[in-house]
Structure 1
Amino acid sequence: MIAHLSPFQPFIDSAINVCCQDPEAIGLAAGGSWASGELDAYSDLDLVLVLSRKVAPDTEQMQVYASRFGPLLASFRGDHVGEPRLLIALYESPLLHVDIKFLTPDEFYERVENPVILWERDQLLTSILEKSVAVYPPFDFQWTEDRFWVWMHYAALKIGRGEFFEAMDFLSFIRNMVLGPLLHLNHNGLPRGVRRAETTFRSGDLERLQKTVASPNRASLCQSLTEAMNLYADLRDKLAPVTLIKNRKAQTIVTEYLTTIHQ
């Protein structure tokens, strides 16, 4: 048993027992913090359930199967993260957040990480892992550069209009989509938003990220937006490939525009 597994063990035992009794079950694996060795008492469980029949994206079938693992309090499909094969579930006693991805064997070949196999039939998951490679989606520098200065102007407009909470939400989006991933890359990690930023980033980088967090007033938001722009530009110039086409003109004009909002 790995560290911090004990709170989850009864649930895992129940899920494995269900799979063992289902002839259509091929395997059950765990990804996320379990696979990375970062599991703790506050973790959720990221499970991959491989079945010979296609269950997803039928929400009702996914919920029916998930309810066999334990007392299901609530659940919904992961459409908001672009993954209709994912069921996000809350279980009772113990209270657990469990993400279950329903896949067929063919779908298991394409993955962003190599999960830990909890149970499998006839070594089928192991065989697939040996024949294929996990590929985490790379950070797209050009896609980001093409949008970033438009996003910054949009945020400046929100500040200028006095929509301070919308501007704060937008800065949160920028941290998760751009700044966090770039900082992870700067620390030789995967571009995973702001996940575990507090314990992953060096103090100087974390301090710069903290300065992008604003209060709902014009001065604070303008300062945080400026910090976000500067942090992005520094990380872009350090990490981006030489082939990146930088929109220096947009960067200069949007930066100048922000000074008029601050007044």
Structure 2
Amino acid sequence: MLLPVHERFVCQAKEKLSQDQRVRGLLAGGSMMTNTMDEYSDLDLIIVYDLAYQEQIMNQRLLIAEGLGNLLSGFTGEHVGEPRMVICLYGPEPLHVDLKFVTLEEFEIRIENPLILWEKDQEISKIIKETSPSHPYPNSQWIEDRFWVWIHYGTTKLGRGEWFELIDHITFIRSVVLGPLVLMRNGQLPRGVRKLEQYGVSELEELKKTIPLHGLESCYHALKSTIHLYQRLRQHSDVLIKEEAEHVAIAYLEKVYTSLIK
């Protein structure tokens, strides 16, 4: 459902960008692309531009964002590994908009086929027709090679009573490992823990057990639940199991916990 606040911004963005000779098109990803928008949806927009203006565009991307509406605050996306993106809050009616700036050449490598809102000379349509998107999937061996190191690290935080850090660490494992594996098992794209509640996954109760409270018992049991769920999900992948690392990490967790409850 495209709300008036979304529609107004998109119309204004199309009008502004179509007057910029450097820009070749405006696209929409996310929930607008899949027609699943609601009142809480943000806008994921892609501004495609001519490679000849790359340095200029990258230097001016915040200025371009300011020209699309009443920008209350905006910053670039280095913290999420995407410096080409400007993350924006517009007002006075609050609207979150992610603006991703890509060249025509960069657009050839993409994770999805976004919705074309406006384009010049059918260049973007031609790229979509001639190339295919590819969504990155987690590598099972990459996960296995790291998982038991992460469990050991979490156990050291358990031993020190650093609950906040351990809670964040378990959250990281849930987002990078458990969430994507559960989503794939349920026929969804591996996007962290996004919309797990809405997909009716059978692992939902197990995932809830990996969410700890601030304290020894809860954090210990959350770590144990994280291990058990991973072991079950791992059974469905072709992976070289790090048996010794697994044994050592689990034994260390039990040793540390036992020493703390004595």
Name 2:172's counterpart in structure 1.
173
The 8 Å contact of residues 142 and 245 in structure 1, kept in 2 or not, is answered as: yes
The 8 Å contact of residues 87 and 100 in structure 1, kept in 2 or not, is answered as: yes
Cα distance in structure 2, aligned partners of 1:172 and 1:57: 39
The 8 Å contact of residues 22 and 53 in structure 2, kept in 1 or not, is answered as: no
Structure 1, unpaired ranges of 5+: none
Q: 2:18 aligns to what SS in structure 1?
A: helix
The 8 Å contact of residues 54 and 103 in structure 1, kept in 2 or not, is answered as: no
Structure 2, unpaired ranges of 5+: none
Deviations 1:120-169 (CA, angstroms, capped at 9, x unpaired)? 11211111110111111111111111000000000011011110110000
Cα distance in structure 1, aligned partners of 2:55 and 2:117: 21
The 8 Å contact of residues 55 and 61 in structure 1, kept in 2 or not, is answered as: no
Name 1:157's counterpart in structure 2.
156
Structural mapping, 1:92-103, within 5 Å = 92-103=91-102
Name 1:10's counterpart in structure 2.
8
- Which of 193, 208, 211 aligns to 1:210? It is 208
Deviation at 1:93, TM superposition (A): 2.6
Deviations 1:179-227 (CA, angstroms, capped at 9, x unpaired)? 000000110111100001111142x311100000001111111100000
Cα distance in structure 1, aligned partners of 2:225 and 2:34: 32
- What is the Cα-based RMSD across aligned positions, in Å? 1.5
Task: Normalising by structure 1, report the TM-score.
Answer: 0.94
2:101 matched to 1:106? Answer: no
Structure 1: 4+ residue segments shifted above 6 A: none
The 8 Å contact of residues 25 and 47 in structure 2, kept in 1 or not, is answered as: yes
- Which of 246, 251, 260 aligns to 1:256? It is 251
Structural mapping, 1:53-92, within 5 Å = 53-55=52-54, 60-92=59-91
Deviation at 1:60, TM superposition (A): 4.5
Cα distance in structure 2, aligned partners of 1:138 and 1:257: 31
Cα distance in structure 1, aligned partners of 2:32 and 2:256: 46
Deviation at 1:55, TM superposition (A): 4.1
The 8 Å contact of residues 5 and 95 in structure 2, kept in 1 or not, is answered as: no
Q: 1:126 aligns to what SS in structure 2?
A: helix
Write the letter of the residue equivalent to 1:254.
Answer: A
Deviation at 1:253, TM superposition (A): 1.8
Write the letter of the residue equivalent to 1:248.
Answer: E
Cα distance in structure 2, aligned partners of 1:43 and 1:56: 31
Name 1:236's counterpart in structure 2.
234
The 8 Å contact of residues 73 and 92 in structure 1, kept in 2 or not, is answered as: yes
